[in-house]
Amino acid sequence: MNLEGLEMIAVLVVLVLFIKVLEQFGLFEPVSLEDSVEDEFELSTVCHRPEGLEQLQEQTKFSRKELQVLYRGFKNECPTGLVNEENFKQIYSQFFPQGDSGMYAAFLFNAFDTDHDGSISFEDFVAGLSVILRGTIDDRLSWAFNLYDLNKDGCITKEEMLDIMKSIYDMMGKYTYPAMREEAPREHVENFFQKMDRNKDGVVTIEEFIESCQKDENIMRSMQLFDNVI
């Protein structure tokens, strides 16, 4: 009957309220289905200190002053001493406000993170920079090869190159002149492989790469741009 139904409902409502009140007082802890993660903060912030200045000086080709400057800038952006991929992408994206530099930043991250522990420490950072800025042309070229070789198997496939190319074109953003065509990266990749792939086996190995680059004047000249970056 209506009335009894309503009475039941009334009683139920009172019961529910009662339970809620008890919960508030902490006297009645219901079984929680999942751990309440929100209450726990990350108490430990990982902090990493780099090796001493002398060791870094030995390992890299930077002078003491340059290392100091580099470290100050590094520490300013990453007070904890470690850069994770999120941070890295965010920092890198500030230089390219128009496009989307996320993919390329991810590739860079993998290239810098030589020990693949998910974060770049100052040593990794400086090691990479040392090669790029102070290394020989061959060193630089092999570093670039390492960047392109996404799965680090020693050779660049067309798919890997296409990914890289797309990420570079993405950095330009939508508003370009002339407007970016869909097939531009693919064409660029074809071009690249034509130049680099000597034996036409569809992949570019590191020897082919270095050899082809050494023959290309443009590339050689552009490699020298990195001499005065710092």
Partner 1 sequence: MAAGVAAWLPFARAAAIGWMPVANCPMPLAPTEKNKRQDELIILNVSGRRFQTWRTTLERYPDTLLGSTEKEFFFNEDTKEYFFDRDPEVFRCILNFYRTGKLHYPRYECISAYDEELAFYGILPEIIGDCCYEEYKDRKRENAERLMDDNDSENNQEGSMPSLNLRQTMWRAFENPHTSTLALVFYYVTGFFIAVSVITNVVETVPCGTVPGNKELPCGERYAVAFFCLDTACVMIFTVEYLMRLFAAPSRYRFMRSVMSIIDVVAIMPYYIGLVMTNNEDVSGAFVTLRVFRVFRIFKFSRHSQGLRILGYTLKSCASELGFLLFSLTMAIIIFATVMFYAEKGSSASKFTSIPASFWYTIVTMTTLGYGDMVPKTIAGKIFGSICSLSGVLVIALPVPVIVSNFSRIYHQNQRADKRRAQKKARLARIRVAKTGSSSAYLHSKRNGLLNAALELTGSSDDEQHISKSTSLIESQHHHLLHCLEKTTGLSYLVDDPLLSVRTSTIKNHEFIDEQLFEQNCMDNSMQNYPSTRSPSLSSNNGGSTSCCSRRNKTTTHLPNSKVPATRLQSMQELSTIHIQCSEQPSLTTSRSSLNMKSDDGLRPNCKTSHLTTAIISIPTPPALTPEGESRPPPSSPHPTMNISTTCSNVVKVSAL
Which residues sit at the interface with partner 1, rule CB under 8 A? 2-3, 6-7, 9-11, 13-14, 65, 69-70, 72-74, 76-77, 91-92, 94-95, 97, 104, 107-108, 111, 125, 128-129, 132-133, 140-141, 143-144, 147-148, 161, 164-165, 168, 188, 191-192, 209, 213, 218-219, 221-223, 225-226, 228-230
Least distance in angstroms from the C-beta of 190 to partner 1: 12
Of the candidates 132, 154, 134, which has an alpha carbon nearest to the alpha carbon of residue 145? 154
By beta-carbon proximity to partner 1, the closer residue of 33 and 221 is 221
* Cα–Cα distance measured from residue 155 to residue 204, given in angstroms and rounded to the nearest whole number: 5
Contacts of 17-20 with CB under 8 Å at 24 or more apart are none
By beta-carbon proximity to partner 1, the closer residue of 13 and 53 is 13
Least distance in angstroms from the C-beta of 32 to partner 1: 27
Q: Which two tokens stand for residue 73?
A: 């800038």
Least distance in angstroms from the C-beta of 123 to partner 1: 14
Tokens 């108490």 belong to residue: 43
CA geometry: angle 154, 158, 159, nearest 5 deg? 95
Can you state the angle between helices 102-112 and 158-172, rounded to 10 degrees? 120
Least distance in angstroms from the C-beta of 47 to partner 1: 19
Residue 121: strand pairing partners = 82
What SS3 string covers 107-129? HHHHHHCCCCCCEEEHHHHHHHH
Least distance in angstroms from the C-beta of 4 to partner 1: 9
Cβ atoms within 10 A of the Cβ of 69, count?
A: 13
By beta-carbon proximity to partner 1, the closer residue of 100 and 226 is 226
By beta-carbon proximity to partner 1, the closer residue of 44 and 76 is 76
By beta-carbon proximity to partner 1, the closer residue of 4 and 34 is 4
Least distance in angstroms from the C-beta of 117 to partner 1: 19
By beta-carbon proximity to partner 1, the closer residue of 40 and 152 is 152
* Cα–Cα distance measured from residue 150 to residue 109, given in angstroms and rounded to the nearest whole number: 11
